[in-house]
Structure 1
Amino acid sequence: MNTSTHDEVSSFQTGFALRPDLVFPVRSTDDVVTAVRHAADARLPVTVLATGHGLPGAVEGGALISTRRMDRVTIDPAARTARVQAGVRWAQVVEAAEPYGLAPLNGSAPGVGAVSYTLGGGLGILAREFGYAADHVRSLDVVTADGRLRHVTEESELYWGLLGGGHRLGVVTELEIGLVPVRTLYGGSLAFDGREVDPADVLRAYKEWTRTVPSTLTSSFAAVPYPGIPALPPHLRGRYVVSVRVAYTGADGGRLVAPLRELGPVLADSLREMPYAESHTIHSDPDFPHSYYGDSAVLGDLDVERAAELLARTGPGDGAGAMVVVQINHLGGALARPAPISVPYREGRFLVRLLTGGGRHQARELLDPAFRLLSATTLGRTVNFAFGAGDRTEGLYDAETRKRLAELESRYDPASLFGRRVSA
């Protein structure tokens, strides 16, 4: 079962080298149990890889458990649930649930692994209406460091720790998740040319607009300086695109977005009623493997003038000198509801995410000063959006959550098989 071929360690994130001593290409829960026991006996730290979209950094040595072959999805339409194995991608769940008029709480990219996404919280397309994906987990099957398979429900403290804590407490082999009765939504993107319309003006208008919308409308602001390369569509090539993305299940979406259309000449408008199966087109995330580095900041509030300075520093021309993608998600709504999971900072009102290419050192020199602009209202960071920054544990959890996770790690993984990444 052990191999170290290039195919086994290939990842969507190509910027971080994966060079484990052993690779376990598992096909079943029994295979995972065997892999964990072998790694524990050999005292090899364990890394789990499904699609590799959210790698926290490079992997040198140890054992890598590749779950991509565990790709079974089972829908129970009467219970409105799905059982998904560790290697399942969101596109598979969307496709399987669609015939029943149901939808999972997936994110913007259909190729992302459903399990790892959910263990990190899962900020989805309809997040303000339904909350985090982790809020809707019914049960988990997990292999802990002692090589034991455990079925975990809300009554267990492991449930709390896994949903927000990720793979640091074991290898989750299967989730049972709740589905929502959504067939269609109103969604898409309204894009402007950032050289014709001031991005800061769009951001100011966007923040004011978020004050007026229902708590069930989910949206984000994005600013992307596209390179002038032939691989891009002509209407994007070399442009600085500023956009607002919307997802809403109500009947008055067209009326709600009307004020945004008054902000200036529209470069592209994809807002429409759509089947949920087309919801990935709202963000149109890249679907090809590439290198990227990023981090995030959950904000108690958005200081627009500080954020406008961030846009000036990361935009094209006299800005950062490198391509930086800025995304600002409107939080609140169902995301603010208490839940028995370890996803922190539910009181946050906005999430700022910055993404860039290049090497790690170059990226940090670029991103760290940008995030410092927002420090006055920053509550912390998010696990799911620490691309290459996962070794920096500060800010990932509030003090009480960090203490409780550290206690669970000491109890369930005393030898740090899965890499203890928080401290009390």
Structure 2
Amino acid sequence: MNSSSISPAVLAELGQQVTGPVLTAQDDGYERETTAYNLATAIRPDVVVGAVDAADVAAAVAWAAVHHVPVGVQATGHGADRPMRGGLLINTARLQECTVDPDTRIARVGAGVRWRTVLESAVPHGLAGLNGSTTDVGVVGYTLGGGVPVLGRTYGFAADRVRSFDVVTPGGAHRRVDAGHEPELFGLLRGGKGNLGIVTAMEFELVALEGLYGGGIFYPGADAREVLTAWSRWSADLPETVSTSIALLRLPEMDIVPEPLRNQFVVHLRYACTADQEDSARLLSPMRAVSHPVMDTVGPMSYRDMDGIHMDPPVPLPYLDAGRLLDDMDEATVEGLLAHAGPGTDCPLLLVEIRLLGGALDRSPEGPADLVTGRQGAYLLNMVGLAVPPAAEQVPHAVTALLEALDGHVSDRTPVNFQGVLGWEPGSAHAWTEDGHSRLLAAKAHYDPENLLRFQHAVQAPAST
């Protein structure tokens, strides 16, 4: 059945099989269920189910399999890089189970839980989850893409800590998988994103963390050369207790931007250290001596307040983005960044960010091989521009020009969560190694031969012979 020709009778059948709301574009609540965090990404399914539990997810997937309707999934909408037109969207935002066992240091979360909720439960016990730059992101979707944590150099990828998944595979079968039960599927879900099923719940290990020394330093954009050069040398020899990134920011005149930084071009150093306060301050001191900071927020902090390190936008915005692994941060790399995004350029990009990788991110966990991309990577380059005129037309060209300037220094791969709107076409293998992509395709042919899960970061199931 073509998804655009779903009959009223077939839609009514779906409504009878699930408990949550079943909505089309003519219904109140449709926009609320379908709008992504990236307001530039149009999510326009023929029908959306607001799943209230795992049984709803299984019933909706089974209905889609019977009627050959393609399926997408969304909770917070942070992973919606590409438009969705037609088909069935399953919104898992209502799956809000969240438990933290302080004795075993295991958390269990439903598919709709955001990292903020986990931290509120875990931090009082001296525990933390391995979230990324903002706690507004959903735990499950972030982890399925590997999950690059703020403390990644100290503790590794978020996917490394997963103990088990509850997943609905195409056809509607509900499975619980871990290293001992369906280990191949368990491994492929870690980094394979949403290609093989819809995860309804996940259990993962927390780390012991009483607090940290973290925050950001903002330098004048005019000193970008001095700051980038100093950061490249300083970051090369940091211990694993330190995780850091640096960003060229062209901040708009918006209320969500701190007043001293509005309508300013600045360089933003992000710093998170798990060593004691004295060592943490000592390790940062070389960068505090660089330039004349506009603002310095680094100090002892509760992990509950870690959003203050990156200071990501707290509200949805329309944007275009792209990412690549970066091989080095040498003089030529710095020159390429400055030539296309430094002071005096008309660069339309809101953010050009370099994250230091390495440390624990280099090490693979025990158990089934996963699909996480970024191990042995040196840096991660991330580029973001607002999708509003006139920048919307300029951003793609700026990303292309910057990547061309860094030719020979950028990899052809990137973690799947960082592919972005301006990344590669759906079905691209750039988020995985050649071997990993082959494993994923083989599993796709087994679990999803009709390619029902074909939206967002999807690979195409091989044609049957």
For Structure 1 versus Structure 2, the TM-score category normalised by the shorter chain is: over 0.9
Question: How far has the Cα of 1:295 moved from its partner?
Answer: 1.1
Q: Tell whether the 8 Å contact from 2:448 to 2:461 is kept in structure 1 after alignment.
A: no
1:402-421 paired onto structure 2 within 5 Å: 402-419=437-454, 420-421=458-459
Q: Tell whether the 8 Å contact from 1:402 to 1:422 is kept in structure 2 after alignment.
A: no
Q: What is the CA–CA distance in structure 2 between the aligned matches of 1:345 and 1:110, rounded to whole Å? A: 21
Q: What is the CA–CA distance in structure 2 between the aligned matches of 1:131 and 1:270, rounded to whole Å? A: 25
Work out the number of aligned pairs and report it: 421
Q: Tell whether the 8 Å contact from 1:137 to 1:178 is kept in structure 2 after alignment.
A: yes
Equivalent in 286, 289, 292 of residue 259 of structure 1: 286
Q: Tell whether the 8 Å contact from 1:12 to 1:53 is kept in structure 2 after alignment.
A: yes
Q: What is the CA–CA distance in structure 2 between the aligned matches of 1:311 and 1:362, rounded to whole Å? A: 18
Q: What is the CA–CA distance in structure 1 between the aligned matches of 2:301 and 2:163, rounded to whole Å? A: 28
Equivalent in 364, 387, 390 of residue 396 of structure 2: 364
Greater shift after overlay, 252-261 or 297-306? 297-306
For residues 230-280 of structure 1, give each alpha carbon's deviation from its aligned partner in whole angstroms, at most 9, with x where no partner exists. Answer: 664331122111021111110110000000011111110011011111111
Question: How far has the Cα of 1:53 moved from its partner?
Answer: 1.4
Structure 1 residue aligned with 2:355? 329
Alignment partner of 1:366: what SS? helix
Structure 2 residue aligned with 1:184? 211
Question: How far has the Cα of 1:212 moved from its partner?
Answer: 2.5
Alignment partner of 1:405: what SS? helix
For residues 284-309 of structure 1, give each alpha carbon's deviation from its aligned partner in whole angstroms, at most 9, with x where no partner exists. Answer: 11111111111111123224423432
For residues 164-216 of structure 1, give each alpha carbon's deviation from its aligned partner in whole angstroms, at most 9, with x where no partner exists. Answer: 01111100000001000002001011110112x1x122111111111222122
Opposite residue 396 of structure 2, the aligned amino acid is R
Question: How far has the Cα of 1:317 moved from its partner?
Answer: 4.4
Structure 2 residue aligned with 1:216? 241
Q: Tell whether the 8 Å contact from 1:297 to 1:381 is kept in structure 2 after alignment.
A: yes
Opposite residue 387 of structure 1, the aligned amino acid is G
Question: How far has the Cα of 1:88 moved from its partner?
Answer: 0.3
Structure 1 residue aligned with 2:260? 235
Equivalent in 123, 128, 134 of residue 98 of structure 1: 123
The change in CA–CA distance for 1:422 and 1:328 in structure 2 (over 3 A counts) is farther
Structure 1 residue aligned with 2:13? none
Q: What is the CA–CA distance in structure 2 between the aligned matches of 1:314 and 1:144, rounded to whole Å? A: 44
Structure 1 residue aligned with 2:409? 377
Question: How far has the Cα of 1:315 moved from its partner?
Answer: 4.2
Q: Tell whether the 8 Å contact from 1:39 to 1:63 is kept in structure 2 after alignment.
A: yes
Q: Tell whether the 8 Å contact from 2:349 to 2:398 is kept in structure 1 after alignment.
A: no
Alignment partner of 1:48: what SS? strand
1:122-271 paired onto structure 2 within 5 Å: 122-155=147-180, 156-195=183-222, 197=223, 199-229=224-254, 232-251=257-276, 252-271=279-298
The change in CA–CA distance for 1:126 and 1:77 in structure 2 (over 3 A counts) is same
Opposite residue 366 of structure 1, the aligned amino acid is A
Q: What is the CA–CA distance in structure 1 between the aligned matches of 2:155 and 2:372, rounded to whole Å? A: 15
Question: How far has the Cα of 1:358 moved from its partner?
Answer: 2.2
Structure 2 residue aligned with 1:310? 337
Q: Tell whether the 8 Å contact from 1:345 to 1:398 is kept in structure 2 after alignment.
A: no
Alignment partner of 1:241: what SS? strand
What RMSD over aligned residues (CA atoms) do the two structures have, in Å? 1.7
Higher Cα Rg, which structure: 2
1:300 aligns to 2:327 (yes or no)? yes
Q: What is the CA–CA distance in structure 1 between the aligned matches of 2:393 and 2:83, rounded to whole Å? A: 14
**TM-score (ref. length: structure 2):** 0.87
For residues 359-400 of structure 1, give each alpha carbon's deviation from its aligned partner in whole angstroms, at most 9, with x where no partner exists. Answer: 776432221221222331333112111222363524211211
1:282-293 paired onto structure 2 within 5 Å: 282-293=309-320
Percentage of pairs with the same residue: 37
Equivalent in 339, 348, 357 of residue 377 of structure 2: 348
Q: Tell whether the 8 Å contact from 2:219 to 2:267 is kept in structure 1 after alignment.
A: yes
Q: Which runs of 5+ in 2 are unaligned?
A: 1-20, 25-29
Opposite residue 179 of structure 1, the aligned amino acid is L
Q: Tell whether the 8 Å contact from 1:143 to 1:172 is kept in structure 2 after alignment.
A: yes
Opposite residue 391 of structure 1, the aligned amino acid is E
Q: Tell whether the 8 Å contact from 1:403 to 1:423 is kept in structure 2 after alignment.
A: no
Equivalent in 306, 326, 346 of residue 279 of structure 1: 306
Q: Tell whether the 8 Å contact from 1:26 to 1:69 is kept in structure 2 after alignment.
A: yes
1:64-75 paired onto structure 2 within 5 Å: 64-75=89-100
Q: What is the CA–CA distance in structure 2 between the aligned matches of 1:304 and 1:79, rounded to whole Å? A: 47
Structure 2 residue aligned with 1:319? 346
The change in CA–CA distance for 1:404 and 1:202 in structure 2 (over 3 A counts) is same
Greater shift after overlay, 245-254 or 299-308? 299-308
Alignment partner of 1:309: what SS? helix
Q: What is the CA–CA distance in structure 1 between the aligned matches of 2:255 and 2:115, rounded to whole Å? A: 30
Q: Tell whether the 8 Å contact from 1:138 to 1:177 is kept in structure 2 after alignment.
A: yes
Alignment partner of 1:164: what SS? coil
Equivalent in 48, 51, 65 of residue 40 of structure 1: 65
Question: How far has the Cα of 1:130 moved from its partner?
Answer: 0.4
Q: What is the CA–CA distance in structure 2 between the aligned matches of 1:44 and 1:396, rounded to whole Å? A: 26
Q: Tell whether the 8 Å contact from 1:128 to 1:335 is kept in structure 2 after alignment.
A: yes
Opposite residue 132 of structure 2, the aligned amino acid is G
Question: How far has the Cα of 1:136 moved from its partner?
Answer: 0.2
1:22-61 paired onto structure 2 within 5 Å: 22-61=47-86
Alignment partner of 1:53: what SS? coil
**TM-score (ref. length: structure 1):** 0.95
